[in-house]
A and B are shown apart, each in its own frame.
Chain A
Amino acid sequence: MTSEFVSVVDIVGSIREGKTTASDVLEQHLARIDKRETEIHAFNHVMAESARANAASIDADLKAGKERGPLAGVPIALKDNMCTRGVPTTCSSKILEGWKPPYDATVVTRLQQAGAVIVGKTNLDEFAMGSSTENSAFGPTRNPLDTSRVPGGSSGGSAAAVAAGFAAASLGSDTGGSIRQPAALCGVVGVKPTYGMVSRQGLVAFASSLDQIGPFTHTVADAALLMEVIGGHDPLDSTSLDQPVPSLTAVLGQGVKGMRIGRLADMPDGCEPEVLARLDAAFAALKAAGATIVDIALPSLSYCLTAYYLVAPAEASSNLARYDGVRYGLRVESADLISMYGATRAAGFGAEVKRRIMLGTYALSAGYYDAYYGKALKVRRLIANDFAAAYQSCDVILTPTSPTVAFPIGEKTSDPLTMYLCDIFTIPTNLAGHAAMSVPFGTGAHSMPVGVQILAPALGEPTMFRVAAELERAS
């Protein structure tokens, strides 16, 4: 896998060795932003001034012999649903336009402590609801490889920022595939960690039992490094796993000899033939490297979309109720409180967000809970059971990340259900709470990148990264 851009690992090394400075590295990235950002619109907010000050301070410290951490000088972009103190955090929604949080998300603090230089907040589907970044209230992001096409979503801005060289790495969030799918569509690496491995404190919640933060990078080694920096127990997140991140960088060279790679015997319809061809090539590469292929079944797979589109909106309808115009964000002044609520939320939320709030409210409401939300939680148990059974006979599972390559802007926006089908391969992992990542593996139709998804059981990151590294070598 080659990239025209320098990896995080190489940036860190070059700065440490004095071959370049944090400021110089930053200026290269800012120059690329200057050149193409208008066209691509990866960012809601570019933080050039604070980034320059930060880079300068890092350079000064390093010159004085002071350590600044494992990511010292690395320009990183953050999806605009992670709280950054004093810096607008909008979730690409009018209801939070201009809102500046009075506190930082845990991952932001960890990145800063590691010496990262935050270059900006990236565009997303509003409140992370979408698969194309076309639901942003501030305009879509375009795929850097073909600006007539979507970058994927909901973390489209973060994927595009890395693909376009605006940042050496970025963070996104993944609830049903929102890191992995844009990673595949933009030709970069994207990781959704095991649920609880990365703190959600300061991540604006979409669906609390499904959300995870993860990295976008050019290389698998970069992703491993980012995971090691941002992951690990956080006492401020009750759902965060009580253990440190497993060692990932160290295992990357261990190969896949003797591993069992699961292949879905029953593939869902709708995959482009080139995507399936790339998947086959991936299996072949792993086999050549000493792994065995095992056919597995996930009988509940086809029901996952339904389960997800009942569970996630239900939790979201509750998580988004706080946007009421009382304490922060948009307010439409009215004569009484109820009118204020109704008018504020009508003006502040876009169509997809409203749709999911309605769906979720309905699924939870009296008389309908058992038929919808209650059932969906049981389907969730079924898919978890399916995975448990499958992982008896394999170590990881390989699927396409997305059934198609990046599609044209506007192609799937007329019918919400069409858009939802983008996530059929990614959703099951979120429901089960497992780990998964997308690795670029060649191109498909229209010369657009294809991503292969590696699924692993909970805490299976080391195995997953070993497979990813092998695929990267072979791609």
Chain B
Amino acid sequence: MSNASSAPSHATILPNGWEMVIGLEVHVELDTKTKLFSASPNHFGDEPNTNIDPVTLGLPGALPVINRRAVELAIRLGLALNCTVQASTFHRKNYFYQDLAKAYQITQYDQPINIDGFMMLPGDVRIGIERAHLEEDTGKSTHFGGTSGRIHGSDYSLVDFNRAGVPLVEIVSRPDIRNADQARQYVSELRSILLAVGASDAKMEEGSMRCDVNVSVRKAGEPFGTRCEIKNVNSIRAVGKAIDYEARRQVDVLESGGTIRQETRHWDDSEGRTHTLRVKEDADDYRYFLEPDLVLLDPGTEWVESIRASLPVLPAARRAQLSQLTGADKESEAVYVIVERGQDDYVQLVADAGGEPARALVYVQQAFSEAGSNPAVPAKDLAGLTLLERDAKVTATQAKTILSEIVANGGGDAGAIAAAKGFEALDTSAVEAMVDAAIAAQPDAWAKYCGGEEKAMGALVGAIMKSSQGKADGKVVTALLQKKRG
């Protein structure tokens, strides 16, 4: 999963000047101990209907009381997305469904807690965030009978209310996304931010982060087209695939003279296509009104600012810092990967121990893909190795070997290992002598290379490496050949 703009783009380019317009609605489950409006456990995977209380089940007489920690996490999340945090109210969204215990969902409507934020994507692309509001989750139905376990044609359903009432934040982007790559980057970065501030574990496979994708198409410069909402997009990869499919579908419809119906569509990942779930002709009348059982939520400047002060350094800032430290591009794959893994602090430790930061970045990326945010190798050991390579005392290849050994043994003195293996890089004058010898031994290859045939260098380099028994640093050889050619 790469975020780098330098990575190859698999995103569809639409033909004939069509442009796709994407908005994302992401629901995240907050990482609280209890539910949003009642004190039952917020915990995935328990026996059905064991995390229930009168509020969860919508029993007569039950009343909601809001979870302070959920509010705090919503504010953390909002601030991390550059939102304005404001006083907010709750409304009832009224509709009937088997997993909605009260036949209304308590959500936020015209006065949500977080508004007007943004997220930056690679290439300085700014995606606006309209709102990030609090609401309660529904229960879960399992369908039985029928053929596919899906709801159409099922004989009955069984409903579990463990998930009902779990705190959600719904994050609504503005329709600023223009291709599938950006959409995937958005979701990926959002996930990183959520993990960084501790708001959610954001696991799409467990349902603690869910994406609905809104797709429309238009010719550049025209107003927005009719959009379709796509549900059942269960992975970051599926986000991209669904967008590409749907945009293409809409273009095909429009180019053959049809119109786009505003509807909700279902993404079928195994078939790689969307199909109609329900048409929004008869727009749902949710009869929103202010929730009379709750009171105004007004966190106040003091609390909000203390939360802001307690936020960790966010991924974008960490990437910038790592880039500054190592000289690597802040949108490079290495920087993204290291920050994603949480290993940027470790790279800093290696630098603090006197190590050369650029090389430290490379080593950490290579060696610690499974190590978590705290690799169990003393930073000074890695630091020592970076200096050996920097000072050309070992070649790059040799350094790689030493690194493997250091990692396998949980540490080690790079110099001692090098000596034990008989590694030493030849100094530059020795290498130069070998270069001159190779030129003399292969005059044809040298002539071709001087004539502009870059490939001819390969024969010369190969001969030098062989005769040096790997002690010549390949980069040094290449540089000398180039210098001699002029």
Contact = CB atoms under 8 A, between A and B. Distances in A.
Contact of A238 (B59, B60, B94, B293): B293
Nearest to A361: B287
A321 B59 CA distance: 11
Given A324-B96, A364-B289, A205 B295 contact: no
Contacts of B295: 238-239
B54 A324 contact: no
A315 B292 contact: yes
B260 interface: no
Given A322-B58, A365-B287, A237 B63 contact: yes
Contacts of B292: 207-209, 239, 315
Nearest to B65: A238
A232 interface: no
Contacts of B66: 238
Interface in A223-251: 235-239
Interface string A63-105: 0000000000000000001110000010100001000011101
A321 B104 contact: yes
A158 interface: no
Interface in B54-111: 54, 57-66, 92, 94, 96, 98, 101-104
Contacts of B63: 200-201, 236-239
A421 interface: no
Interface centre among B62, B98, B285 (most CB of A within 10 A): B62
A364 to B, nearest CB: 4
Q: How large is the interface on B (under 10, 10 to 19, 20 to 34, 35 or more residues)?
A: 20 to 34
A373 B289 contact: yes
A416 to B, nearest CB: 22
B349 interface: no
A105 B61 CA distance: 8
Nearest to B64: A238
A202 B59 CA distance: 9
Contacts of B293: 205, 208, 238-239
B60 A96 contact: yes
Contact of B61 (A101, A317, A326): A101
Interface residues of A, number: 43
A265 interface: no
Given A101-B60, A364-B287, A341 B96 contact: yes
Given A209-B292, A321-B96, A101 B103 contact: no
A328 interface: yes
B59 A328 contact: yes
B367 interface: no
Nearest to A340: B98
A314 interface: yes
Interface centre among B59, B94, B159 (most CB of A within 10 A): B59
A82 B61 CA distance: 8
A365 B94 CA distance: 10
Interface string A301-334: 0000000000000110110011010111000000
Contacts of B159: 326
A53 interface: no
B287 A318 contact: yes
B294 interface: yes
Nearest to B103: A321
A437 B477 CA distance: 100
Contacts of B101: 322, 326-327
A1 interface: no
Interface centre among B59, B63, B101, B103 (most CB of A within 10 A): B63
A236 B65 contact: yes
A322 B60 contact: yes
Contacts of A89: 60
Given A321-B103, A324-B96, A324-B103, A365 B60 contact: no
B287 A366 contact: yes
Given A364-B287, A365-B285, A318 B104 contact: yes
A162 B61 CA distance: 24
A24 to B, nearest CB: 34
A337 B98 contact: yes
B92 A318 contact: yes
Nearest to B49: A327
Nearest to B95: A321
B164 to A, nearest CB: 10
B65 A327 contact: no
A235 B64 CA distance: 10
Contacts of A201: 61-63
Nearest to B295: A238
A207 B59 CA distance: 16
A315 B92 CA distance: 10
Given A209-B292, A361-B287, A365-B287, A322 B103 contact: yes
Contacts of B64: 238
A218 to B, nearest CB: 28
A314 B290 CA distance: 11
B174 to A, nearest CB: 25
A355 B94 CA distance: 18
A200 B159 CA distance: 28
Contacts of A83: 59-61
Contacts of A208: 292-293
A36 B292 CA distance: 41
Contacts of B94: 318, 321, 364
A452 interface: no
A203 B294 contact: no
A357 B54 CA distance: 23
Nearest to B94: A318
Contacts of A101: 59-61
Contacts of B65: 235-238
A204 interface: yes
Nearest to A104: B61
Contact of B289 (A202, A318, A327): A318
A209 B283 CA distance: 29
Interface centre among B60, B62, B283 (most CB of A within 10 A): B60
A365 B283 CA distance: 12
B157 to A, nearest CB: 8
Given A239-B293, A314-B289, A103 B54 contact: yes
A378 B382 CA distance: 71
Given A208-B293, A341-B96, A366 B61 contact: no
B60 A321 contact: no
Contacts of A238: 63-66, 293-295
B130 to A, nearest CB: 22
B37 to A, nearest CB: 9
A184 to B, nearest CB: 27
Interface string B153-195: 0000001000000000000000000000000000000000000
Given A204-B60, A364-B94, 20 more contacts: A83-B60, A101-B59, A103-B54, A201-B63, A205-B293, A208-B293, A237-B65, A238-B64, A238-B294, A239-B63, A239-B293, A321-B96, A321-B104, A324-B96, A326-B159, A327-B59, A328-B57, A338-B96, A364-B287, A373-B289
7 contacts: A238-B295, A318-B287, A321-B96, A321-B102, A327-B101, A364-B287, A369-B289
Q: Closest 9 A-B residue pairs measured CB to CB?
A: A321-B103, A208-B292, A364-B287, A209-B292, A204-B60, A202-B61, A322-B58, A366-B285, A83-B61
